[in-house]
Amino acid sequence: MRKLLIGLLIIGHAPLSAGGVDLVDFEEDDYGAGEILYPNRNDMQPGDLDLLAFGAENVADGTWFTASFRKPIRSPEGLMTEVGQVSLASLARNDFYTFNIDVYIDTDMKPGSGRTDGLPGRRIAVDRATAWEKTVLLTPRPSVARNLLKQHVQRLEERAVRAEQGRISSDDSKAISAGVDARLDEHYFMPEKVKVRGRDIRFFVPKDFLGGPASDDWAYTVVVTGAALEQTALLGVSPEKFNLMNMPVKPGINFDAFGIRGRGDPEQPPVVDYLSHKGGWQEARLADYNLARNRYASLVGIVPSGRKLDVKMTTAPDPPAAADRKPATAGRQPGVTTGPATPPIPTGNSLADRLRAIRELRDQGVLTEEEYQQIRRRIVSEY
């Protein structure tokens, strides 16, 4: 049976300090929506990717985040890659290599304001109630991840420009490249200052990126995926199939992917663990997607202070009641319930048609610039 740990007792964290963050997650829920199986390998075993606690401590120039797992974090020291026989420690230089942690942070606390897209390959979205301004990606190869994300976004942008104007000039390419760099710098950070100790991993994010000390009034959407280390280029990978450093889910038993229990859907999100403090929430949210409608599983962030979220923004149903599970932060749940869906994305025959349709809606004042940009990103990333 799953247990929700009391972080203060078991993890030994200091009590919540002003402006800090201290959150706990269920134990033994490292199975995504309930069906994900670990790869068939000795160095990835049940419990390895089971997040138990997530915290943040502010210092003068930034924030140290801490994630605690159920089992000791595996070191790449002395190991070789399966393909190519390269030293793992030379690829993963921060003393961990089996997982990524995505942290999508809603810093402006305005419902519906911000981005809802998950990183490529996660097959999740962040709910509009906690749409994010900043994403921190803790990954074993941060600079490779940054380069791949850049290539991916640039490729999507170039495709959109080609669809709109039929061709792309080298000046267009240069302008896109600079724009993508600026946007990535504003929205994404891949920590390079990392400390692993036992079951805990700490990672530093500068204040310049977050815009201030991490607040317990912000919302944090935290997911754990298995790390794929050896990808370094997008060659031969379509944007739809691109996984940014994360292992996918595949049917059957795999070495380099997660498997699926029973008749589960291999198209489900490859998210192994999702920080939540309501019983059944992780399972319900990760299973609520509809790929025929281009709707990914929509995850809601957690607000450590218990600040109320705009309940009308969210789309997923309440999780089933779980009488045997007691949240560690009783009375401090975000209080999220059902409500209307996110705005429709125009459908059309081609990328160019759809982009033109939303541009017209913006020009007519139907969509704000922010809504336009958000929908444009979603359309572009679908092609």
CA distance linking residue 349 with residue 25, whole number of Å:
43
Token pair belonging to 96: 């961990």
CA-derived radius of gyration, the chain: 20
Shortest separation between residue 209's beta carbon and Ca ion, angstroms: 26
Q: Does 25 bind Ca ion (CB under 5 A)?
A: yes
Token pair belonging to 283: 């399972």
Task: Tell me how many residues contact Ca ion (CB under 5 A).
Answer: 8
Torsion sign, CA atoms 234, 240, 243, 249: negative
Shortest separation between residue 141's beta carbon and Ca ion, angstroms: 24
Q: Closer to Ca ion at the Cβ: 7 or 62?
A: 7
Strands 62-69 and 26-27: unpaired
Which residue in the set 21, 49, 51, 316 belongs to the binding site for Ca ion (CB under 5 A)? 51
Q: Does 106 bind Ca ion (CB under 5 A)?
A: no
Token pair belonging to 297: 């599983």
Q: Closer to Ca ion at the Cβ: 48 or 133?
A: 48
| Residue with the CB atom nearest Ca ion in the bound state | 25
Which residue in the set 50, 102, 117, 127 belongs to the binding site for Ca ion (CB under 5 A)? 50
Q: Does 29 bind Ca ion (CB under 5 A)?
A: yes
Q: Closer to Ca ion at the Cβ: 160 or 284?
A: 284
Q: Closer to Ca ion at the Cβ: 34 or 213?
A: 34
Shortest separation between residue 70's beta carbon and Ca ion, angstroms: 7
Q: Does 273 bind Ca ion (CB under 5 A)?
A: yes
Which region among 20-28, 304-312, 333-341, 343-351 touches Ca ion (by CB under 5 A)? Answer: 20-28
Shortest separation between residue 24's beta carbon and Ca ion, angstroms: 9
Shortest separation between residue 7's beta carbon and Ca ion, angstroms: 12
Which region among 82-90, 179-187, 225-233, 265-273 touches Ca ion (by CB under 5 A)? Answer: 265-273
Q: Closer to Ca ion at the Cβ: 26 or 258?
A: 26
> By the 8 A CB rule, do 341 and 313 touch?
no
Backbone dihedral angles phi then psi of residue 219, each to the nearest 5 degrees? -110, 135
**Residue with the two structure tokens 């981005």:** 115
CB atoms within 10 A of CB 316: 21
Q: Does 282 bind Ca ion (CB under 5 A)?
A: yes
Q: Closer to Ca ion at the Cβ: 7 or 142?
A: 7
CA distance linking residue 129 with residue 336, whole number of Å:
9
Shortest separation between residue 166's beta carbon and Ca ion, angstroms: 47
Query: Which one-letter amino acid corresponds to residue 381?
Result: S
Which region among 27-35, 188-196, 214-222, 263-271 touches Ca ion (by CB under 5 A)? Answer: 27-35
Those residues whose C-beta lies under 8 Å from the C-beta of residue 215, and which sit 6 or more positions away, are 19, 21, 107, 305
Q: Closer to Ca ion at the Cβ: 116 or 282?
A: 282
Please report the DSSP string for 239-291 in residue order: GGG--SSB--B-SS--SSSBEE-TT--TTS----EE---STTHHHHHHH--BG
Q: Closer to Ca ion at the Cβ: 4 or 156?
A: 4
Shortest separation between residue 76's beta carbon and Ca ion, angstroms: 23
State which of positions 205-224 bind Ca ion (CB under 5 A).
Answer: none
CA distance linking residue 56 with residue 20, whole number of Å:
6
Residue 377: HSE in the Cβ half-sphere, 13 Å Cα cutoff:
17
Which region among 22-30, 96-104, 166-174, 328-336 touches Ca ion (by CB under 5 A)? Answer: 22-30
Shortest separation between residue 121's beta carbon and Ca ion, angstroms: 19
E strand segments, 115-173: 124-126, 134-138
99-117 burial, b at 16+ Cβ within 10 Å, e below that, comes to bbbbbbbbbebebbbbbbb
> By the 8 A CB rule, do 23 and 8 touch?
no
Shortest separation between residue 106's beta carbon and Ca ion, angstroms: 19
Shortest separation between residue 50's beta carbon and Ca ion, angstroms: 5
Interface positions with Ca ion (CB under 5 A): 25-26, 29, 50-51, 273-274, 282
